[in-house]
Amino acid sequence: MNWDRTLSLIPDGVQTMSKMPNKYVDGVYPKYISHGKGSKVYSDGKEFIDYTCGLGAIVLGHANEDVNQAVFSQARKGTLFGLPHESETLLAEKLVEHFPMDKVRFVKTGSEATSAAVKIARAYTNKETILCCGYHGWHEWYNQTTPKNKGCSKSKVYPFNYNDIASLRALFRRHKDVAAVIMEPYVYDAPKENFLDEVRRTCDQNKALLIFDEVVTGFRTNKWCAANEFRVKPDLMCIGKAMGNGYPIGAVGGSAKIMDVLKHKDRTYKVIFVICMNAGRIDPVDITLINNFCGIIGVEYSVIINRVSKKLMDFDSRTMITKFTDKNPTNILHLEMNFNVFDEDNVMLENGDIIKEFINAQKSFPIVTSNIGK
């Protein structure tokens, strides 16, 4: 492959700055890697020892058989569903067992994990300012603090220096609305003079959260992570692709009371009925049965008719509608019903059975399909 060809199509020829060939010795290091196995990577028939470990995420070696087999096995069963998969719970249990966290939210990348942690911290504290130390990804909340900040919206994010507790305390004196300190617990240097303990103490004194970005250090440090190794417990922790040996996955976890800001307090559910029109008519029984359905599960609701022509019409769902004029007599209507649950436990536990029983009991209801979800 010609490098100029790549440059003509992809800015800088790479998807992340860390992979730019100009970071290595031109003419000695390859421009491309075709494949890898174990500790080795290959380019143009040459074998190299991958000391970069795939930018740090390949902790079990390239093309690890056990990891790949697990991924391939699930891929054959499907990869994207409208409800949770049991493996999410199993993985969350493993993380809670080995990392200082009570609850977990999974994401796709380390950058997304740090962004989620910042959002959680701001929501929990109702404060805005973030103090940071280290590299936290390319999302704009952090990228605004770097030289590549063009195009980033500005928010209150300020960096401090590692192993320099005075620089952190100076920022706390300057900013009274600090939501959180986010930092890599170590990268090149070990913490000196109880630096991490002092950061923890300073956060507590100022009622700010402490977030450890362990995208790099997680799974690659003694006792699973730097928080365990140095015995400093953060409020939130971010981990990345090392969890999947390079596959796109990440997570943010922390104490239950902080993570619970992600819970939905007001649950709104939606039922979609897809109904075939005949000769431009909606049978009055259709609307009557929708009323009956919502009566069964105890909800108030509104209905929007969404035609194939993409036009929308609002109407009172309790009114009998006998005719709907349309040039296409075989149009399909999507009746989207958004409602707040009165008896939340009933709907959460039994909604599928309720829908099935209702449809089976009303054979005259011309439903093609139905769906319920948040």
C-beta separation of 209 from 116 below 8 A: no
Please tell me which residue in 241, 269, 286, 301 is annotated as part of the active site: 241
Whole-angstrom distance, CA of residue 108 vs CA of residue 112: 7
Whole-angstrom distance, CA of residue 309 vs CA of residue 248: 38
Please tell me which residue in 19, 31, 50, 135 is annotated as part of the active site: 135
How far from the centroid of its chain's Cα atoms is residue 29's Cα? 35
Q: How many CB atoms lie within 10 A of CB 12?
A: 13
Residue 162 appears among annotated catalytic residues: no
Residue 135 appears among annotated catalytic residues: yes
CA distances, 149 to each of 113, 136, 143 (Å): 20, 14, 6
Please tell me which residue in 142, 213, 286, 301 is annotated as part of the active site: 213
Amino acid at position 349, single letter: L
Q: Are strands 129-133 and 103-107 parallel, antiparallel or unpaired?
A: unpaired
**Which residues face 271 on adjacent strands?**
337, 372
Q: Are strands 103-107 and 250-254 parallel, antiparallel or unpaired?
A: antiparallel
- Residue labelled with tokens 């500005």: 154
3 state SS of 45: coil
CA angle 233, 238, 240 (to 5 degrees): 135
Amino acid at position 184, single letter: E
Residue 32 appears among annotated catalytic residues: no
Question: Pick from 309, 259, 269: which is nearest to 293 by CA?
Answer: 269
Catalogue the active-site residues: 135, 213, 241
